Every structure is written in C-alpha cells, then in structure tokens.
Structure 1
Amino acid sequence: MTRILAALLPLAIAACATPQASAPAPQTVTVGIVAINDFHGNLEPPKMAVPVPDGSGGTTYVPAGGAAWLASAIDMVAARHRYSTVVSAGDLISASPLASSLFLDEPTVGAMNRIGLEFNAVGNHEFDRGREELLRMQAGGCEAHTQRRPCAVEEFAGADFAFLSASTYTGDGSSLFPATGTKTFETPAGQIKLGFIGLTLESTPLLVSPEGIAGLTFGDEAEAINRAVPVLESEGADAIVVLIHQGAEQGENPDPNDCEGLSGALLEILGRLDPGVDVVVSGHTHQAYVCDYGTIDPARPLLLTSAGSYGRLVTDIALTIDPAADQVVAARAENVIVQSPGYATSRGETPATDAFARFEPRADIAAYVARYVDAAAEYAKRPVGRIGGGALRMWGEGPNTGGRLGLLIADAQLAATRDAGAQVAFMNTGGIRADLEPTADGRLTFGQIYAVQPFGNTLVTRTFSGAQLETLLEQGLAMADPKFLVPSQGFAYRYDLSRPAGERLVSMTLDGKPVDPQATYRVTMNSFLAQGGDGYAVFTDGTDAVTGGLDLEALEAWLDGEAPRPVPSAPRITAN
C-alpha cells in the first residue's frame, strides 16, 4: 500500500500544481554503430561456426552466417539504439561463393542496400576485378569490365551506401573514393554528428593483380587518418570512427569479445593515430575481437573491434556522447553471433544451440538471395567429378601450408600445363577460398570447386633458374606473416623460421633430387602470382612465358574421370 501511494503521490501533486518549466534536455546521447567486415559475398550460410569458450575450459561451436540471418541480427542490434548506423570495414565483395561471384557480386551489393548499410571501407578484395569494376559497384550500370556479363539477372543500380578510401590515390593525388563521410542525428540534447574515415591497407598492391590497380597508389594508413581527423572535427563531428581494412590477431584465444595477446600489423598503425579517434572498426585478418585499446596505450583510449568474417558476427557498438562538449564520454562493444541453422560436413555435425540467440531469416532478404541462388543453380549443381575423401585447406593447427586441397590444386595445374613444359606448379594459399566436402561417394559439383577458386585466374608457365626458385621461396618465408607456396607432386621443401630472413629455406628437391641453382626449370603459377601478387616479385622475372587456360578449368579437368581422384595425403612442405 505504501509503495502504491508513493507512486501515485507525484501524479496527484502534478495535477494540482501550477505549470512548471519543462524538464531539462538530456546531457548525453547514446548512438549505436552496427559493424561488420569481410563479408565476401556469403549470401548463404557458409557452413562455418563461431568458436566461443564454454566456461569450462572447452569451446562451443555455433553455426552462423547467411545474409537473411545477418539482416535479422542487424535489425535486432539496431533496435537496441534510438539512433544507429550500419557500417563495414571492407572486403564486402569478391572471393565470394558462386551465387554472388557468378554475378559479379551485384547481389551482395543489392542485399546490403536492403539491409541498410551506409558506409563501407574499400578492402583489398574490392580491387580483385580492377578499378573500373569497383567504380561500377558504387555507381551502377551494366558496362562490362570482366569476362562475365553484368546485369545478368536484373539492372544493377549500384550501392546506396558510400565506399570510402582515404589512402587510395589516383594520378592527381585525390582519393579514389571520398576519404570521409558523416552521419547526423537530431536529438533532444542537440545535433549529434558521427565522422567516418574509411581506408584499405597500404600493402594492397601485394594482394591484387597489378594491372587492375594501374595508376593507383596506396598510402600510409595512419598518415591518411591523421589528415582526415581535423577535417571531420572542423565539420563538427562529435565522434570519429575509423573503418580500416587492416587487422589484428588474438592468437589462441577464441573469445570474440576479448583481445588477449593482441598482435598484428594494425597495432603499428594504432600507435601513430591522432588521439581524436574514438573507435576503430577493423578487418582483413578474419579474426573477431573487442578491445579497450586504452589498456594497451593510455594515450589512445579508443575502442577497437572486428566481427570476424562471412557475416557470422555483428558488432554492437554504443557511444555515449556529450554534444555540448563534442566528445565521447563512454564506449562499449559486443560481438553478437548471427546464429543460423546447424549443418553437417565430413567432419561431423554442428548443431544450433540455445546458449545463444537464434535468428529467423528476414523474409525479403531470403527471397532476394533465393533469386540469385536459383539463377546460379544450373552452374552450381553440375557434377564435375569425384575425390577420395574431404580435401581441406589446413593441416591441423599448424601454419597455413595449403592442406591436402592445396596439393590437389597444384597437381591439377601441373597436369594442365605439361604441354608447356611445366615441371612444377605453385599455388598460393590465400587463393584457396573454401574446403572441398564431397558427398559420401565422393561427388563434387561445379559450385563447390568454384567456391574454392572464384577469381578466374589463368595459368602461366615460365622458365626460372634454381637460384630464382630459392629466392622465390625465401621471399615468402621472410614475410612478417610467412607465406608458403604449395608445390605440385615431385617437389618438396623444408624450412626453419628460427633462422634469419633470407636463410630460412633448408632444402628443396624435385623428383627426389636437390634443385640445382644453375639449372633451369619450367614453373606454372596463376596469373595473380605471375604479376607479382602476394609479394612474390621473382615470379615476374621468369622467361619464355606460355599462357594457358583458367585455373578452375584445370581443377575440373583433373577431377574428371570414372574413378575418384585420390587426395594427396603427405605434406610437401615441412618444418625443420
């Protein structure tokens, strides 16, 4: 009774009292930023899980992803905030599964238009089909810049969201896309303006085909950010958010809401940032983390996030802003798992779990995706052959040396170029985009092998000396994050990363014999590597080049036959 009277008493007083001045306007406003990165056109659930600690020393694997489920998760997170915006930190498109890649990623842009994306930083993979095709992604239209026909399903209107590229410069020194963007909210506390800076990583030329970025330069990321900060401040930005396609790693920690043992190329950039930056939304490494960076560098108390990859996570960022002071007074973030239906592979089942929220697919996005999946079905379902078991990209938890699948691809490319004199073929591990999971009797479809190699590279065979091959392998081993070229059958090499850079190759053999530095060898690679991609400059030095067919055609031909193609089982790259 006392509690009821206490609740009613203010109402009675208010009814009898003379009018009073209205309550003062709130002093702060909380704004939500809904962030993703590295979506890579995964319109359908990618059959990949999000690993999270189970609280008992183990790990729970949660099935996640798919554009329709992602849309529902984004809607849920956005609904937590009265004011919100949706952003991406790059690699939204390319290296995509068939339903998106076959149609030049037009459906991914269409899906993101419907989801409500507002800003996307340009990632390295946005340049995979070249500068002009990327500009078409923004502006729309049906002009062809690749071998594939644009607008195959519908007229392409382009992105409703803005691509941002503060550190990508054209010949006259201007940025390819706008360096910054703003989002303004009218609130009872006054106008709130968020300023966004978007940029790709400086090493993009090492990751894409040089001919596709001719005339462009990629500058220092920190310098570009620091130039943009005062511009946004002069425009009245209350908070500054960086969307950068560069990232960090957590090591062995699977918690997507932690940043224990953080390392990686992004940290050097963060250490040079203007203290005016409030949030950094990152990508590229496909790792998930949330970090109060002020605990690492008190001079830069920013919030650092990444939502992993393939639309399996959404980052819910909340900024509490004092508009009178034009500053952020509090910030928090959480990675939300986009749980979708369970799935099964040759490695077993990954069921859905009640330990995390389950999302229903958003109907309009599901219908839109289905339109493109159906259009791709004729290609996707075509049988292409059989293999004798699953072919995965990784060997356990060790360095990424391409797994059994990398060996299978290298063997296919060697076989396809024997007529050009090829003695060995090398495959880059970054070009292997999915595992091969056959049916119980080993059958594979075109859609499956397309997901493995979606770039449309041609095969190139050139002559190199044995000394050049040594330099080539040393180039990869000397990198901060060592890269390994996967060799075809007959070629093997050993390495020792404890040795100084340039001396890490222990041995290399062809058909059981040491490679002779003075002898010459015919070597096959894909056209990305042939242009010096992934930092392998020596590939451009080969002579007597012969250009062959597509890498995907080579794999399909290798799989064609009555009997299942055996999957290589013994590693050809070994640590000393």
Structure 2
Amino acid sequence: MPSPRVRQVASVAAATTLAISGIATTSNSSWGHGSNKTIDVQLLSFNDFHGNLEPPSGSGGRITTGHTLTNGVVGDQTVDAGGVAYLATHLDRARRGHRDSLTVAAGDIVGASPLLSAAFHDEPTVESMNTLGLDVTSVGNHEFDEGYKELQRLDKGGCIDDGDGANNQNSCAAHTFQGAKYDILAANVFYTGTKKTILPSYTIKRTPDGAKIAFIGMTLKDTPDIVTKSGIEGLTFKDEVATANALVPEIKRKGVNAIVVLIHQGGNPARESWTGPDGKVYSANPAYNWACDKGGTLDMASSPILGIASNLDPQIDMVISGHTHQPYICNVPDPKGQPRLVTSASSFGRLFTETHLEYDLKKNDIVRSSVEGSNMIVTRDLVPDPAQTSLIKQYQTLVAPIANRVLGRITQDIGRSGSSVNAGGEQALGDLIADAQLADPSVVTNGDVPKIAFMNPGGIRADLTYASSPKGEGDGVVTYEEAFTVQPFNNYLVSMTLTGAQIKTLLTQQWSGPNAGSPKILQVSKGFAYTYSGTTLGTVTLDGAPLVDTQNYRIVTNNFLSDGGDGFPAFTGGTGKYFGGLDIDGFANYLEANSPYTPGPLDRITKN
C-alpha cells in the first residue's frame, strides 16, 4: 500500500504575508511532459539516519499520525516506521515512473549509531547507502564523532588498523571497505587558515533528460560546540548563509541555475492545536504532517533554520534540512519574498520526503512555483529489500558475540522521560550512568578517586526497557547491545580537579550562555546534590556538606564535556586531567556488578 503523505505546495500567493505557512491549495502543475521546455524531476530526501539499519524500536521507531482522547487526556496515535530494508523498498517504489530522480540527504547519516553499524566504524551504513542509491549528502555534526579524518576515510574507503576488534570495533570485518559511492559535501568546513574545505562544497547532478541541479552541502556552524574537540582540531566551521551565498555565483558561472541546499540545521514544529471528539481544542504533540500542511508552524525560538532559509540567496530553489529530528514541509520565503520549500523528514529512516519540481530546460532552472513536497511514512507492511536484508544479516552474524553478551538485569524501565524524570531534570537513567562513571577505576590516578560525576543529557540516546527486545533475551535482561544503544559514542572518561567555585559556575552554565534558550541539565552521581530556581543556583552539597568554593574536588566526565562541549566551558579549566577507559565499558561493568539494578529516588537535583 502507498505510504500516507502530506502535501505542501510552495504557492506564490501564500508567500506574500507569512514567513511560514501551511498551504491548503493544490498545485496547478501537471506531472508529465506537458511542454518540450520543461521536464519533471523527483527529489527523494531524508536526514539523521544515524546508522539505523535495523527497524528502530521504542519511541524512536514510531511516527505520530494523530491523537486520541481518553478521560480528558490526549494521547498519540502512532505507526511503526523505519528500517533500511523497508526504506529501500519505499524509495524503489517511489522512483517508478520517474526517469529524472535523485536521492539526497541532509547529514548525520552515520554517528550515534546502533551497535550493528558502530561496531564496524559505520562501514555497514555507508555500504547500505551505496546499495540504497543515495546520490549526495551533506555532513552533519555526528559525521565528526570519530574525527574528520575518519569521515574522509568513510568517503574514500580503506581499512583501519584497529586491533581486530579492540574496543568492540572492527574495521573491514567482512571485506575491504570501498567507501561511499555518493558525494559527501562539507561547504562550510575549512582547514583553518586556508580556503580549502575538507570535502567538496557542492556537486552538480545531471538527470537522464538533461536537468542540471547543484547541491550545496553544509553542517551547522555550531558543530564545534557539540562534537569532541580532538576530532576537529585544525578546522574552522563557517556561517551557513555566507557560505552558501558565496557559492552561488561560482555555480552559475558553470551554467547551472538550479540550486538546492542540503543543510544539517533545522526547526521544531510548534505544539499542535487538536480538536478532540468533544469539540474542545487541546495542545498535543505535533503529528508528522502538522507543520505546515495542517496549519502548524515552526517555533520561531527553537528553529534556527528559519533565519538561515530566509537569508539564503534567492537563486537557491529549495532547502532540505535536518538535525532536529522533526518532520515538516514549510514555505520560508526568500529575501525577495518568493516561495521556497524547506523540508525535514524526521530521523532514523522513519520518513522520507518526495519532492516534485518542474525543470526549465531553456533556463536551466527550477520553476519555483511548481515545487511540491510530501512526507512519506516508511511503513513496515511492504516486502523488505533483499539486498539490504542480506547486508544486515551479514553484520548481525559478525556482531553477535559482542551484542548478545548479557550484562545483568533491571527490575523496571529506566528512562529519560515521564516518571523517570523529576521537575529538576534529573533522570533515572542519568543517575545510573553518572554512578557508573564515578565507580570506574580507570579514572583513578595516584590514588585520587573522583567524588562527583557529570553526564550530558544529550549523550544518553535511548532508554533501558524492562520488556524483552524482539531478539528474545527475556524481560529485564540487559545485553551489551542495549547498553551500547544508550551510550553509543565511545567517549573516554576523564577525571580532573575543579574547585567548588568552578563547579558552581559549571552548574549555572546549564541555563546560561549557549544553553540559555534550551537548558541542558547535567546528570550527577550519588552523594552530590543541588537546588535551583529559574536561573538561580541554590544550595550545592557533597555527602550532605556544602561545597566550599576554595576547596578542590576530583570529578569525572566524558572527553566531550571535558573539552567544553554542549556549552560547558567550565570543564576546560579543570587541572590534572587523566584519561581513563571508554564510557560504554564503565557502564557495562557497572551493570554487571550491580545486577539486578533498581533505580533509587530522584533526589539529587531539586527545582524550587
């Protein structure tokens, strides 16, 4: 059956008054060769795949399609979605009847990946994308998780001498890795002090019937704030708008007037105003087609893509975005007030965007008023693609000895939301991870044992669920694969010394500076506690005693935070830094040593 779809038409009339609009009209275009001067071109796009070769589970494997009302409480109607074998089948069906079709992406194809891909340095995902027919992608911030040189290897191919599985990773486990057959673009990532980018800035694709379309690919300029410092040493990340606009004249000099931007930066739909069966209007989680077809908009405060898209050169015809893992198809007029489609297809391969456009062969340009986009759900009711299924089975066999190792048991769900989080932002799963870091002996140096651990919430990528996974390990059983899904970055643990004053400064950085608009509440270890009200820090204690500003305290965190990542520069002032083992190893060891594990009370972080 065809995927459910949402239609967004970039209408000239609708662009005159609203920066973002849901268009209810239908297109006047005729998708066929109605003129010998124009051809129909199909763009298929997705973003934030994150190595999800197998169908993602839990909330990450569902798409919200509508809502329910039970006793005055709004719930979500969802459908299971995703899995690259299903994505490949959907894309293959979508391409039928379209000679001029291109498949593109907007970054984070790899990184923060499940073990099936991460255990092999994401080589399986690149091979999957080759088979899928991906033509071009931009880089995203997670493409830098293992450093830019590793990104370049994924592009060109070759093997890593990684000790045949050391640290539970193994390059070229199945065969010599050949690299990406698609273009990976990094227009705004330069070697510092040069005009040279680490990968090409743009590519020009030609379709069988003569369309020439340039794709500019970029990551967000703030990538250095959210990746490990050592992986991007010697690089400069430049402004997205200035970068793209500077490339337009160069592209036009090559006789190409059709330009699409692939950018790893995005937006967030505002809450949905949903009318229940009782006729009342409720605030609900936005459905996948809420923004902007069903009247929804993107939230101005949390949607950086709006400022970018509205300032990109008018010659740029479309913007395909990502990073926020949200679904939307909206009109953001260009600086001349002309309509321009901005799309995003959620994440993990659960959606893809199908865009139709007319291409004027005489002008070598896209007819902007013809551009029509639809977000399509990657349902799991089709026959999965055989080639993708074969690739997955190959790597499942190779990873099985690592993935299936049982670490221990949990007695209930341990998560990051709902009843697993208190008003102060403390998470049951965050407590567990912070305690595991504190207990790791690899960070002890000269007998100096850390007393406090800090964990960034963005590094906690999944919940630990009590129910057995589809692999049938049993209720409450935690395997290495499940633990890795929670912490997939292979960060190193780092111990250091901070003063009490520095720790208090660190805590205020949770809601100031880069985090002022969207606070990031660090997860902390047992024995450390603090209170806050709004943006005011209250009491801070260690083992019940007030923290002393002038006293030194040994703490532990991961190397990402140690470098000041996520807007926490106070970590860079730490002294006596000592690198221990991998965070996932500390987490796995702690689960083994504390089985069965039951979370304690959420009493470490208190919001007054």
Q: 1:268 to 1:473 in 2, by over 3 A?
A: farther
Task: Return the alpha-carbon distance in structure 1 between the equivalents of residues 424 and 265 of structure 2.
Answer: 19
Task: Compute the displacement of 1:236 (Å).
Answer: 2.7
1:458 partner letter: Y
Task: Compute the displacement of 1:522 (Å).
Answer: 1.4
Residue by residue over 1:315-337, the C-alpha shift from the partner in whole angstroms, topping out at 9 and shown as x without a partner, is: 11111222323332311111111
The corresponding residue for 2:298 is 262
1:539 to 558, 571, 578: 571
Aligned-residue CA RMSD (Å): 2.3
Task: Return the alpha-carbon distance in structure 2 between the equivalents of residues 301 and 562 of structure 1.
Answer: 58
Residue by residue over 1:165-205, the C-alpha shift from the partner in whole angstroms, topping out at 9 and shown as x without a partner, is: 11000142211111111111243xxx321110000111111
Q: 1:36 to 1:327 in 2, by over 3 A?
A: closer
1:287 partner letter: Q
Task: Return the alpha-carbon distance in structure 1 between the equivalents of residues 372 and 600 of structure 2.
Answer: 47
2:157 partner letter: G
Task: Return the alpha-carbon distance in structure 2 between the equivalents of residues 270 and 402 of structure 1.
Answer: 35
1:276 to 315, 337, 345: 315
The corresponding residue for 2:283 is none
1:239–1:278 contact (8 Å) kept in structure 2 = yes
Task: Compute the displacement of 1:400 (Å).
Answer: 10
The corresponding residue for 1:455 is 489
Task: Compute the displacement of 1:574 (Å).
Answer: 3.7
The corresponding residue for 1:43 is 53
Task: Return the alpha-carbon distance in structure 2 between the equivalents of residues 536 and 25 of structure 1.
Answer: 57
Task: Return the alpha-carbon distance in structure 2 between the equivalents of residues 454 and 562 of structure 1.
Answer: 21
Task: Compute the displacement of 1:379 (Å).
Answer: 0.7
Q: Secondary structure at the match of 2:111?
A: coil
Task: Compute the displacement of 1:224 (Å).
Answer: 0.4
The corresponding residue for 1:321 is 359
The more displaced of 433-442 and 150-159 is 433-442
The corresponding residue for 2:120 is 103
Gaps of 5+ in 1: 1-22, 341-357
Residue by residue over 1:48-73, the C-alpha shift from the partner in whole angstroms, topping out at 9 and shown as x without a partner, is: 21112259875311111111011011
1:394–1:402 contact (8 Å) kept in structure 2 = no
1:211 to 227, 230, 236: 230
1:421 to 445, 449, 465: 449
Q: What is the correspondence of 1:232-243 to structure 2 with a 5 Å cutoff? A: 232-243=251-262
Residue 327 of structure 2 corresponds to residue 288 of structure 1: yes
The corresponding residue for 1:374 is 397
The corresponding residue for 1:442 is 476
1:128–1:209 contact (8 Å) kept in structure 2 = yes
The corresponding residue for 2:373 is 333
Q: 1:398 to 1:119 in 2, by over 3 A?
A: farther
The more displaced of 261-270 and 56-65 is 56-65
Q: Secondary structure at the match of 2:288?
A: coil
Q: 1:117 to 1:399 in 2, by over 3 A?
A: farther
Task: Return the alpha-carbon distance in structure 2 between the equivalents of residues 446 and 299 of structure 1.
Answer: 53
The corresponding residue for 1:530 is 562
1:304 partner letter: V
The corresponding residue for 1:351 is none
Task: Compute the displacement of 1:359 (Å).
Answer: 2.4
Q: What is the correspondence of 1:155-554 to structure 2 with a 5 Å cutoff? A: 155-171=176-192, 172-187=194-209, 191-253=210-272, 254-257=286-289, 258-259=291-292, 260-263=296-299, 264-294=303-333, 299-325=337-363, 326-328=365-367, 329-340=369-380, 358-395=381-418, 401=425, 403-417=427-441, 420-438=448-466, 439=468, 441-478=475-512, 479=515, 480-497=517-534, 499=535, 504-554=536-586
The corresponding residue for 2:25 is none
2:314–2:336 contact (8 Å) kept in structure 1 = no
Q: Secondary structure at the match of 1:477?
A: coil
Task: Compute the displacement of 1:455 (Å).
Answer: 1.6
2:575 partner letter: T
Task: Return the alpha-carbon distance in structure 2 between the equivalents of residues 41 and 133 of structure 1.
Answer: 16
Q: What is the correspondence of 1:108-147 to structure 2 with a 5 Å cutoff? A: 108-144=125-161
Task: Return the alpha-carbon distance in structure 2 between the equivalents of residues 275 and 398 of structure 1.
Answer: 47
Q: 1:24 to 1:124 in 2, by over 3 A?
A: closer
Task: Compute the displacement of 1:493 (Å).
Answer: 2.9
Greater relative CO, 1 or 2 (CA 8 Å, sep 6+): 2
Gaps of 5+ in 2: 1-32, 273-285, 469-473
Q: Secondary structure at the match of 2:343?
A: strand
TM-score normalized with structure 2 length = 0.82
Task: Return the alpha-carbon distance in structure 2 between the equivalents of residues 369 and 546 of structure 1.
Answer: 38
Q: Secondary structure at the match of 1:545?
A: strand
1:229–1:276 contact (8 Å) kept in structure 2 = yes
Q: Secondary structure at the match of 1:570?
A: coil
Residue by residue over 1:71-126, the C-alpha shift from the partner in whole angstroms, topping out at 9 and shown as x without a partner, is: 01111222253311011100000110011000000000000000000101011110
Task: Compute the displacement of 1:244 (Å).
Answer: 0.4
Task: Return the alpha-carbon distance in structure 1 between the equivalents of residues 428 and 569 of structure 2.
Answer: 26
Q: What is the correspondence of 1:53-68 to structure 2 with a 5 Å cutoff? A: 53-54=66-67, 59-68=76-85
Task: Return the alpha-carbon distance in structure 1 between the equivalents of residues 405 and 41 of structure 2.
Answer: 48
TM-score normalized with structure 1 length = 0.87
2:189–2:198 contact (8 Å) kept in structure 1 = yes
The more displaced of 264-273 and 199-208 is 264-273
The more displaced of 512-521 and 157-166 is 512-521
Task: Return the alpha-carbon distance in structure 2 between the equivalents of residues 37 and 213 of structure 1.
Answer: 22
Give the percent of matched residue pairs that are identical in Structure 1 and Structure 2. Answer: 41
The corresponding residue for 1:355 is none
1:306 partner letter: S
